[in-house]
């Protein structure tokens, strides 16, 4: 049983974005993990006005992007949980078991694909990003999150292409 100083709760997946959330009192961090994964520290300093309204400190929440636990495809179906310790011996209370479902996996996969494409654009240039985003569009029937970045990559690709000469004669002829 947790000590009195180990009051907290693992709220699970945020409803509108691929993040894990919860709260903890009297601790600087908690540890979150997927079923077979390594623990990842989450700092307990996020504002939680909902908890302040019931008498708890405002800055006792934690958020961890789901991608910190691994690739979307590897996390599908895995149980997600938190603990007060890195070893997982003192689990955070939770109201229900949390598993990454297909909807959350798709959201996380999209987020990871967007970040990868942005990195390719910076590191390898517009052609690599264009290829990456085009492949993502083909794999994702609801591909609206990729449109803006694809248009930007196309624009950058057009900028990078050399302009062909419109004159066929040389100055000396």
Q: What is the DSSP letter of 164?
A: P
| Judgement on whether residues 25 and 65 belong to the same structural domain of the protein | yes
- Model pLDDT for residues 21-47, shown as the tens digit of each residue: 999 997 899 999 988 889 999 999 999
- Given 82, 100, 118, the domain boundary residue is 100
Look at residue 2 and tell me whether its pLDDT is greater than 70: no
| Judgement on whether residues 73 and 125 belong to the same structural domain of the protein | no
What domain count does the chain have?
Answer: 2
Task: Report how far apart, in Å, the C-alpha atoms of 134 and of each of 71, 123, 131, 148 are.
Answer: 20, 18, 5, 12
- Given 53, 82, 100, the domain boundary residue is 100
| 90, 84 contact by CB (below 8 A) | yes
Asked if residue 152 is part of any domain, the answer here is yes
Residue carrying the six token digits 């049983």: 1
| Judgement on whether residues 81 and 129 belong to the same structural domain of the protein | no
Please give the residue range of the domain that contains residue 85: 8-100
At 90 the pLDDT is 92
**Residue 144 confidence class, pLDDT cut points 50, 70, 90:** low
Average pLDDT for 66-78: 80
Q: What is the DSSP letter of 68?
A: G
User: Can you tell me whether residue 66 is helix, strand or coil?
Assistant: helix
Task: Give the mean pLDDT of the chain.
Answer: 79
CATH number at residue 42: 2.60.40
At 85 the pLDDT is 93
Asked if residue 3 is part of any domain, the answer here is no
Task: Report how far apart, in Å, the C-alpha atoms of 140 and of each of 36, 71, 107, 114 are.
Answer: 28, 17, 11, 12
Listed in order, strand segments (DSSP E) in 6-139 are: 8-13, 19-24, 29-34, 40-43, 61-65, 79-83, 98-99
| Judgement on whether residues 84 and 122 belong to the same structural domain of the protein | no
| Judgement on whether residues 25 and 64 belong to the same structural domain of the protein | yes
| Judgement on whether residues 66 and 146 belong to the same structural domain of the protein | no
User: Can you tell me whether residue 55 is helix, strand or coil?
Assistant: coil
Strands 79-83 and 98-99: antiparallel
| Judgement on whether residues 95 and 122 belong to the same structural domain of the protein | no
pTM of the model: 0.60
């Amino acid at each position: 049983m947790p000590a009195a100083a180990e009051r907290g709760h693992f709220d699970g997946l945020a409803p509108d974005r691929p993040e894990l959330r919860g709260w903890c009192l009297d601790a600087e961090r908690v540890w979150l993990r997927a079923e077979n994964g390594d623990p990842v520290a989450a700092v307990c300093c996020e504002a939680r006005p909902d908890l302040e309204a019931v008498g708890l400190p405002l800055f006792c929440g934690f958020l961890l992007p789901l991608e910190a636990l691994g690739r979307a495809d590897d996390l599908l179906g895995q149980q997600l949980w938190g603990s007060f310790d890195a070893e997982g011996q003192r689990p955070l209370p939770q109201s229900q078991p949390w598993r990454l479902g297909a909807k959350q996996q798709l959201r996380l996969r999209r987020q990871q694909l967007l970040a990868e494409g942005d990195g390719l654009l910076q590191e390898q240039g517009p052609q690599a990003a264009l290829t990456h985003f085009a492949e993502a569009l083909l794999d994702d029937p609801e591909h609206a999150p990729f449109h803006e970045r694809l248009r930007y990559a196309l624009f950058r690709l057009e900028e990078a292409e050399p302009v062909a000469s419109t004159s066929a004669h040389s100055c000396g002829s």
